[in-house]
A and B are shown apart, each in its own frame.
Chain A
Amino acid sequence: MVPEELNSPGYDIPPEARGQVAITTLDRIYNWGRSASVWPMMFGLACCAIEMICAAASRYDIARFGMEIMRPSPRQSDLMIVAGTVTKKMIPLIVRLYNQMPEPKYVLAMGACASGGGPFKEGYNVVSGVDKFIPVDVYVPGCPPTPQALLNGLMKIQEKIRGESLKTSRWYQKGPDSVEMPIPLLGPDLIDTRKIALIKPAAKKGQEA
């Protein structure tokens, strides 16, 4: 499956993400307010989380970006920093946390692991990138990205926010309030519920082979 397809959260990516819509003054004010108060979720998975803590601490101080309010509850946060290795045992919970976040919400994949599996990709309990299950807005490579690299990624998130428009933002349009991502199940191995139909024939093929 091509990554774009997986990245698509089930709705059309609004074109303003590509910066093609005229942005009004109101949008500017609105986006300025939003981009200067992105509240990340306090949520660390592995080594990268330590660099995230360092980014929040005295030397790098993400408070300068209005992001120091790390919310332990997903319901109060705008940004999910997936900092670390995503394992199969953990991914159902990550998807559930993502679903609990109110819109507009953003996801930043911090480090090689969250972006694409990382050094432990070949492991039997490792998910090959969190974007297999939830849409990711910004990828920060590195293992671990230094706090400054993370700040650079956060600025990319701000850049993305600044490119959005009230007129086209999905969460101000008619339609469902938010899009829920299906939560994978833990069976004999991880079961992606979107692929259930695929699993049966493929597993059978394995039997014949």
Chain B
Amino acid sequence: MATPAPVSAPAFDLSARFPGIASPDTRPGYSGWVIPKENLPEVAAALRDELGFDYLSHVTGVDYLPEGKMEVVYQFYKTTGGPGLSLKVQVPRQDPIEVPSIVSIYPGAEFQEREVWDLFGIRFTGHPDLRRILMWEGFEGHPLRKDWKEAYYEEDIKPFKSRWPEGKHVPAEDKTPFGDNVTYPDGFDAEKWIPEDPEKALYGALARYQVQDETGLGTEHVIVNIGPQHPSTHGVFRVAAILDGETIVSLKPVMGYLHRNHEKIGERNTYLMNMPFTDRLDYLSSMSNNFGYALTVEKLMNIKPPERAEYIRVMMAEMTRISNHLMAIGALTNDLGAYFTPMLYSLEERELILDIFEAVAGSRMMCNYFRFGGVVRDLPEGIPEKIKGLFFERLPRRIDELERFLSENEIVRSRGIGQGVLTAEDAIRYSASGPLLRASGIPYDVRRAEPYSIYDRFDFEVCVRPNGDIYDRLMIRFDEIRQSIRIVQQAVRGLPEGPVMAVKPAYTVRVPPGEAYGRVEGPKGELGFYIISNGKPSPWRYHVRAPSFINLTSFGPMCIGQKVADLVAVLGSIDIVLGEVDR
């Protein structure tokens, strides 16, 4: 398979369908179509209804400060497979910046448009609930704008000059006037400042979504908050719901409690520095994150790793998928009330996979193993044998045992079957991906739909389950583990000899100007990286299409009408990781 060229030809001619409206993006290294913002809803509707681009993959903003422009980028795919199409809307960089919302056409854009509003200050007119999503209401400024500087700001690009050769250890907090990581607007007077009720906007939004009570029984609705510190939310995640008795009538997830400014930091880091940071996105599957990031930058650089490295990469990515799904199965059954037992069993197998990661990459979780053009180091001695032992002898047996343990258990079945259903149409509409999408009957897997690396050489099936309920989402993870075991078996058998790096390892890489969107099928869904290079050592724009975050868009609709106790199980079945949701 040839490396994709950095400038990919547009999938087809959009200007033929929209003459005078759509014009190709002609900047060097860019692709896609630029359209005026007024025509966005019209074009988006046509893409979905006429041209078959039914899947909105991601929406993000870019701040072109030197050009005085803001851009909103949309990436579309067909769920039948094939290359994507990207649309761009450019607006002048003067507040108020406004772009029409496409939530009514692609509901999957809801959270992403909120994120762009939060971080770039681009208003989406017609958005049903445009509030901040990662930062809190009332926060000053839109952090991803290039002219917004945080308290610990040192320089635009790393490395900082203060580290060498006259590096004195001064904690960053000692350099700010407040002795802490804070800045305030000019003349801010904390004594006179009156805090607003932080929850007002949220509860207002909840009430707006409230479904009218048709029975006319006039029961009182109560607001219930779950989280951020709650054992079943898998981290610091909060759910606010309006209940009618025990039934959920309206629900909003609240996130941002783990917003670690990944993208802002990523735009200051050099390309290589971002690699260990990607480990901390979805910290259960760092190898996959490495994979997606390395692929995207390699796409920009137009290099290709050697054969052996490709095999090792695939092996590592599939092992990550297994370890992630084991954790997901354990956590979901925990939420279903199994307390800890299945978790103990699945973590046991996960530990053995982590042992391999530790031996190969040096860390159990934060692997930082991929480099542009290969992997850091070859497999240490004895590791291929260890992998063989584990994947040919132990794991298949243990997975069967775990499935026997769970699949017929009456509690799992009665709490899972028919609960939290996500229909196939809804799954696509809400841009769900990964096991969540496939458990709703859509056989869409990036490894098949747009094969990357060497996945086209392996024999495996795209798992799919028809019902879209919690039980199917549990069982599809078993199916996927089995397929991943098959892939690892094939890869370890076919592992060729040879180098593991295509280029000389270097800590500065030259990335030609341009944009690239690279995606992999991560364990949680389509994991994408959208990178814009301007030829400097750091990316100008670094965006992560986080599957957990976008999968959560369908969480609210899935829960409406369910009992409040099932909320926890539905959340568990989506399998989120907060590092990736909040980034």
From B54-62, B253-261, B416-424, B485-493, the one touching the partner chain is B253-261
Give A1-34 as 1s and 0s: 1 = Cβ < 8 Å from B's Cβ atoms: 1000000000000000000000000000000000
The chain B residue with its CB closest to the CB of A147 is B364
Does A166 count as interface, using CB distance less than 8 angstroms? no
B265 touches A122 (CB 8 A): yes
Q: Nearest Cβ in chain A — how far from B259, in angstroms?
A: 5
Instruction: Mark the stretch among B9-17, B174-182, B371-379 that contacts chain A.
Output: B174-182
How far apart are the CA atoms of A145 and B106 in the complex, in Å?
42
In contact, A58 and B347 (Cβ under 8 angstroms): yes
- B235-247: contact bitstring with A at CB < 8 Å (1 yes, 0 no)? 1100000000000
Asked whether, in the complex, the Cβ of A123 is within 8 Å of the Cβ of B190, the reply is no
Do residues A44 and B180 form an inter-chain contact, with CB atoms below 8 A? Answer: no
Say yes or no for B42: interface residue by CB 8 A criterion. no
C-alpha gap A87/B143 in the complex (Å): 15
Q: Given A123-B260, A186-B136, A47 and B348 touching (CB < 8 A)?
A: no
- Per DSSP, chain B at the interface is loop
Nearest CB on A from B52, distance (A): 39
B186 touches A206 (CB 8 A): yes
Q: Mark B345-366, 1 if CB is under 8 A from A, else 0.
A: 1011001000000000000111
Of the stretches B207-215, B276-284, B559-567, the one at the interface is B276-284
Interface string of B331-345 (1 = CB under 8 A from A): 000000000100111
Are A58 and B344 in contact, CB atoms less than 8 angstroms apart? yes
The bracket for how many chain B residues form the interface is: 35 or more
What band does the interface of chain A fall in when counting residues whose beta carbon is under 8 Å from B?
A: 35 or more
Q: Are B150 and A188 in contact (CB under 8 A)?
A: no
Known: A128-B172, A199-B190. A120 touches B235 (CB 8 A): no
A182 to B454 Cα, complex, angstroms: 56
- Asked if residues A126 and B344 are in contact (CB atoms below 8 Å), the reply is no
Residue of B nearest to A96 (CB): B229
> A45-B236, A187-B195 in contact; A121/B188 too (CB < 8 A)?
no
The residue from B150, B183, B365 contacting A144, defined by CB atoms under 8 A apart: B365
- Decide if A93 touches B229 in the complex (CB within 8 Å): yes
Chain B contacts for A1, CB-based, 8 A: 179
Q: Which among B171, B262, B284 has the highest number of chain A CB atoms within 10 Å?
A: B171
A35 interface residue (CB < 8 Å to B): no
B177 & A121 in contact (Cβ 8 Å cutoff): no
Check if B306 is an interface residue, CB within 8 A of chain A: no
The docked-state distance in angstroms from the alpha carbon of A54 to that of B350 is: 10
Give the CA-CA distance A206 to B185 in the complex, in Å: 8
Nearest chain B CB to A129 CB, angstrom units = 9
- Within the complex, the shortest CB–CB distance from B150 to chain A, in Å, comes to 4
Partner of B177 from the list A45, A116, A206 (CB cut-off 8 Å) is A206
Among the listed B138, B187, B262, which residue makes an inter-chain contact with A207, where contact means beta carbons less than 8 Å apart? B187
Question: Cβ of B260 and Cβ of A126 under 8 Å apart?
Answer: yes
Q: Could you tell me if B184 and A59 are in contact, using CB atoms closer than 8 angstroms? A: no
Residue pair B228, A189 in contact (C-beta under 8 Å): no
**Which A residues form the contact surface with B (CB < 8 A)?**
1, 42-47, 49-51, 53-54, 57-59, 70, 72, 84-85, 87-90, 93, 97, 116-117, 119-128, 132, 143-144, 146, 185-192, 195-200, 202-207
Q: Which residues of B contact A (CB under 8 A)?
A: 134-136, 138-140, 143, 150-154, 171-173, 177-191, 193, 195, 198, 228-231, 235-236, 256-262, 264-265, 268, 276-277, 280, 283-284, 327, 340, 343-345, 347-348, 351, 364-366, 578-579
